[in-house]
Amino acid sequence: PLANLRNTPFIIQIGTADMEGVPRYTMTKRYVDAVLKLRAADPGGFPIEYREHPGKGHQIDDSDTPPWLARHVRNPVSAKVVWEMDSLSNARRRKTGRAARFAWLRAEDPVDDQRVTALCEGNTVRVEAEGLERLTLLLDDRLLNLDKPVRVLAGSREIFQGLVPRTVGSLVDSLLERGDPELAFSATLPLDLSPQE
């Protein structure tokens, strides 16, 4: 899903005459327009660079791509994360039997067409979730000050307030999940997002 690209810098280059066999230019333009529409609705997200090469076909000069990529570094702990799980992604995940994980979010039982937006502001995490009742936040001091109480809001409802302990278990579990030290987190906070009666 395109929404998952919110924090991923990427560059697309295409020749405007790249239409032989497959209408690449038309398809690419439609894709880029969809991403730019998302960026217009979420300023600060979708760091895309789009370049057209007028009159060029499939062979273009994209030698400026490596320097562009070198200027952009992944931020593994973006303060705002948007995560959509479509049925295809969820079917692949089911084959592995593992929980779904995206950035600093984990869902043990993700559902098709779920959407989660999570935002860290100071020591408050705001969560908007569609189609999901349980979510785990993977936290550390890059996102919040874990020496102070953390507050979690689901919409306007407070669902957690308190200290979230750092544990070796959280660090090890999150490291084993991805094998990436930058995606290892020292604290785990399970949340119940189900509506209150």
pLDDT digits (tens, 9 = 90+) for 121-155: 999 999 999 888 899 999 999 999 999 999 999 98
What pTM was computed for the model?
0.85
pLDDT digits (tens, 9 = 90+) for 91-123: 666 777 677 889 999 988 877 788 999 999 999
Share of the chain above pLDDT 90, in %: 69
Place of tokens 């000069």: 61
| Whole-angstrom distance, CA of residue 148 vs CA of residue 8 | 30
Q: How far is CA 159 from the centre of its chain?
A: 22
Which carries the bigger pLDDT value, residue 21 or residue 48?
48
Cβ–Cβ < 8 Å for 159, 191: yes
Question: How many C-beta atoms lie closer than 10 Å to residue 125's C-beta?
Answer: 25
Strands 100-102 and 10-15 turn out to be: unpaired
Q: What is the DSSP letter of 196?
A: P
